Chains A and B, each alone.
Chain A
Amino acid sequence: MQREDKQLELVLENFQSKLNEFKAQIYALIFKLEHERDNVNWTTVLDTFAVFSTQYTAIMKYLSYEKLPQLRNYSVLPLMLNPERDEDLARITENRVPALSHDIVPDFLRTKTEPEVEHKLMQVEHKAGGLQFETAQKQLAAFNKVVNHVLDLVSKAREEWEVETGARVGIGQTSSVADLHTLVSAVSMGKNLKPMVPQVSPGGMMVPPTGRPVTPSMGPNTPPMGMMPKPPPGMKTNVKAAGAPHPYR
């Protein structure tokens, strides 16, 4: 019995020190928010919250450690209620609880929900239990329908938003490698720019060929290039003879 008491004391002490540590950190954050509001950035606040979260998890883990005495098996009994201010109590609780009075004891030492709430909960549970299976199914279906509808709305909005941002960034193609190569080889080597057949009389209007000329040396993605004259026999061009017969020749 004594050993158990000692253990309990030790656990409570540990628990309290952990809680105090946690509390000090929360205080530090509040202090920071109140006094250095201008210098606080959201990332540090977020980091602090992450630390809180781990701290909380650690405490809960500590409490559920199986070798520890189950604290919930111990009861706290108010032996005496006193409306007068109790200095000791005020000091321990940092002035949050000045007196162990009739007002606060039911709230502080409560282990069950308030009777009113409990009653309401009972009512709801009773109602749920008494439901017909089919009605329940119907309501479930209706609820699912509503939720799905909301989900649709949200995903549609998200899609629109993504398309919008995509358009702003210029997701549409703005440059083409094939065009670049066409342009550069034209400017540097005169590809597709070699003069027309010299026999053409200078005054006569040129009639562009109706079929779009395709040369074997062009890639499949090359856009229409305008006119591609057949090179005169003696002229050196970049047009390479293809192995297969050309459809337009």
Chain B
Amino acid sequence: MEAVKEAPIPAMDSLTAAMKNNIVPNQEYLLQGSVLDSAVEVLLHRLRGLCDNVDSGPETFHDHEMCFSISNVYFSVHVLCPLHIIINIIFLLGSVTPQPLTLRVRRAIDYLDMPYQLRYIGQPELGDKSRPTILRNSIDVATTPTIVDFLTEMGFRMDFEYILRGYMFRKGRMKITVSKIFKMMVVGKPAPESVDPISQSYLVELSVLAPSNQDAIAEDMRVFAEQLKPLVHLEKVDYKRLTQPPM
């Protein structure tokens, strides 16, 4: 990434080459589950035993995520990296569909000097039964806080926003987050008194970012997910079924 920042145009070429050689971690393997508030302590305890960061204890996070979207994306952006890269990658991946393009901006509420994170998440692929996890494209870059203004200027509109508060664990390349999702009662105000949990459960996500075609890691994730049963059932959530109202 350092080299990329120095000269945008050659960087683009080298990035394209890197993508072709499958060394950019642009695939996210994902399993999702939930745990009731009453059982979250038990889960944290178990994760503490299973994961790598035993000594330091679980890492906590408190983030604010905004989801921006824009429809009719037929433009070519010529701005400085890294946003340039992310938007171009979207084109490279061929993910631009008639659906509105969404980008997510995430910032840490507890560490205000941390860079913002801009992230593109593709459509999740469920795959067949032999594939143990969901697979989706995922690209992220660190940005400055001005990204919000920048996106707005470009015509992006904020779709929704929410607050995540929870714990993060690591196990090898796997990342496990246990997070509570809060709805913001007042736009742009993530103060604790104006947020409201949207459910009585924590969202549990097990994910790995990897270059394409590294399906072996999915098997590791399946094994890890087995170890959390029956406390949490990490599964491939079918997003298509979620959009339809339940019977």
Contact = CB atoms under 8 A, between A and B. Distances in A.
B237 A180 contact: yes
A45 interface: no
Instruction: Place the interface of chain B in its size category.
Output: 35 or more
A192 B183 contact: yes
B186 A183 contact: no
Nearest to A223: B200
Given A170-B230, A175-B36, A238 B198 contact: no
B214 interface: no
A172 B42 CA distance: 12
A226 interface: yes
Chain B: interface secondary structure? Answer: mixed
A169 B203 CA distance: 22
A180 B34 contact: yes
Interface string A188-214: 111111111010101000100000000
A219 B246 contact: yes
A184 B160 contact: no
A186 interface: yes
A169 B187 CA distance: 43
Interface in B31-69: 32-36, 38-39, 42-43, 67
A132 interface: no
Given A179-B201, A223-B199, A189 B36 contact: no
Nearest to A188: B239
A175 B233 contact: yes
Contacts, number: 125
B140 interface: no
B162 interface: yes
A226 B183 contact: yes
Given A180-B201, A192-B198, A186 B181 contact: yes
Nearest to A179: B201
Interface residues of A, number: 40
What DSSP secondary structure best describes chain A's contact surface? loop
A216 interface: yes
Interface in B233-247: 233, 237, 239, 242-243, 245-246
A185 interface: yes
Identify the interface centre among B32, B33, B199: most chain A CB within 10 Å of its CB: B199
Contact of B199 (A170, A189, A225): A225
B39 A174 contact: yes
Interface of B: 32-36, 38-39, 42-43, 67, 124, 158-162, 181, 183-189, 194, 196-201, 203, 230-233, 237, 239, 242-243, 245-246
13 contacts: A169-B230, A174-B42, A175-B233, A179-B36, A180-B34, A186-B162, A186-B198, A189-B243, A190-B67, A194-B159, A196-B187, A206-B185, A206-B194
Given A184-B242, A188-B124, A193-B160, 7 more contacts: A170-B39, A174-B230, A174-B231, A174-B232, A189-B242, A195-B187, A226-B183
